Amino acid sequence: MKKICVLGLGYIGLPTAAMFATHGFKVLGVEIKKDVVEILNNGDVHIQEPGLKTLAQAALKSGNLIPSLKPDHSDVFIIAVPTPLLKEEKKGDLSYVISAAESIVPFLKPGNLVILESTSPPRTTMDILVPILERSGLEVSREGSESATSFYLAHCPERVLPGRILKELVHNDRVIGGADRAASQMARELYSSFVEGKIFLTDATTAEMVKLMENTYRDVNIALANEFSLVAEKVGINIWEAIEIANRHPRVNILKPGPGVGGHCIAVDPWFIVQAAPEVTPLIQMTRQVNDGMPAQVVRLVKRAVAEVERPVIACLGLTYKGDVDDIRESPAIRVIELLRAEGFGLQAYDPFVPMGAIPEQVSNIEAAISGADAVLILTDHSAFKELYLGDIDCPVIDTRDVL
Ligand code: SAJ
């Protein structure tokens, strides 16, 4: 049975490790956080994602997925660690990728395949990973340079949507960029064990750009929708209706405006393109500025709604970065709440997905959030909020997500 060592058991690493472990591979899942390894060894999961607990439990029970704090010899190494943004420099923080790569150097053997799944700035695979992995004394296999001391290297970026990770892991098309064709083909064979979508082979840097372009395209589209929403307010139209009708055109698909763009992907990845070529990316930089400016626009709407009220209390519904997930990383809802707090507003915040204690103003149910509020502010499009009955609310409602 082929061995795979997955480095990082987070939002991508754990589903990927569990998927391989239930499709005929022996998987060592490496995670540096002790508590995560403990949780998994107790048969539980640390991430809320539809279907993940069942899949991970099956993988763990079969003995084909073994959580570990350290890597070991393997046929394949898959790096699936975070690549966050260095906030000041607006550049990718590659420290996790680098230490994951360094941790496998002592175990790398000729013929092994190393795959980078983490979304990374252009040229990371060839310029950052290659020199680290070659410290093993082996050389990366490049076109025509294969030898008895070669290892293989490819970038295969994850492209799955939080909330639909397991479905998309199986059904999405994938892109694989090898340091050479042999690496691409080896990676294709591996992913074919569970991927039902098409698999496209290219080189590593193209694969890096493909992934970044996808998320940047979405960011630009959302910024356009956000800008349209500001214009709509000025010219006195309903933006949701206007977008719905515009999208009836066969070649138009405008995304939804909202309180900003959050999460660890769409608000981050465009900067990886900018860092590669700042002088030719004004549109991408402006996009980031527009979307990052949306929380302040929401605060402006709130201030207008409660202008007459002394010491107003705002019910904030939703903390996560988008609907029906539990993730508050880089959430625009949190940013809005921070701005409102700084303005001295009274706040009562509720999110059905976020355990108590995330922010000081959090309450444990929707009634407690709405009770005595001078305005209701909907910040996340959780399905549960769609049931909200407006007849029960006698104050202004600001619905930044068109939930109602
Ligand atoms: N958002 C809007 N308006 C919209 C759509 C989204 O304001 O019309 C906001 C969301 O509320 C959220 C943010 O954008 O705050 C991002 O949410 P998302 O659902 O667009 O994307 P993510 O970050 O959850 O996942 C994205 C996906 N990329 C694309 O759809 C191109 C996913 O496929 C990637 O795998 C993921 O990034 C990733 O890991 O890179």
The model's pLDDT over 273-315, given as tens digits with 9 standing for 90+, comes to: 999 999 999 999 999 999 999 999 999 999 999 999 999 999 9
pLDDT the model gives residue 26: 98
Instruction: Report which DSSP code applies to 73.
Output: -
How many CA atoms lie within 13 Å of 241's alpha carbon, on the beta-carbon side?
5
- Read off the pLDDT of each residue in 95-121 and give the average, rounded to a whole number: 98
Task: State percent of the chain over pLDDT 70.
Answer: 100
- Read off the pLDDT of each residue in 367-385 and give the average, rounded to a whole number: 95
- Indicate the SS3 state at residue 129: helix
Structure tokens at 339: 């701005």
User: How many whole angstroms from 215 Cα to the centroid of ligand 1?
Assistant: 7
Q: Which amino acid is at 298?
A: V
Helix (H) or strand (E) holding 214: helix 204-235
**Residue having the nearest C-alpha atom to atom 2 of ligand 1:** 256
The model's pLDDT over 247-262, given as tens digits with 9 standing for 90+, comes to: 999 999 999 999 999 9
Question: How far lies 329's CA from each of 83, 122, 322, 353, in Å?
Answer: 13, 24, 10, 13
The model's pLDDT over 60-102, given as tens digits with 9 standing for 90+, comes to: 999 999 999 999 999 999 999 999 999 999 999 999 999 999 9
Separation CA 125–CA 202 (nearest Å): 13
Indicate whether residue 162 lines ligand 1 (CB < 6 A). Answer: yes
The model's pLDDT over 149-167, given as tens digits with 9 standing for 90+, comes to: 999 999 999 999 999 999 9
Catalytic-residue membership of 265? yes
Sheet holding 397-399, edge to edge: 346-350, 313-317, 375-378, 397-399
Q: Where are the beta strands (DSSP E) in 294-342?
A: 313-317
pLDDT at 390 over 80: no
pLDDT the model gives residue 144: 86
Indicate whether residue 266 lines ligand 1 (CB < 6 A). Answer: yes
Q: How would you class 227 by CB atoms within 10 Å of its CB: exposed for 0-12, middle for 13-18, buried for 19 or more?
A: middle
**Residue having the nearest C-alpha atom to atom 29 of ligand 1:** 215
pLDDT the model gives residue 24: 93
Ligand 1 atom nearest 218 alpha carbon: 31
Q: Which residue in 272, 270, 239, 235 sits closest to 254, CA to CA? A: 239
pLDDT the model gives residue 389: 75
135, 105 Cβ separation under 8 angstroms: yes
Indicate whether residue 222 lines ligand 1 (CB < 6 A). Answer: yes
Q: Which one of the listed residues 5, 26, 211, 322 is annotated catalytic?
A: 211
User: How many whole angstroms from 265 Cα to the centroid of ligand 1?
Assistant: 7
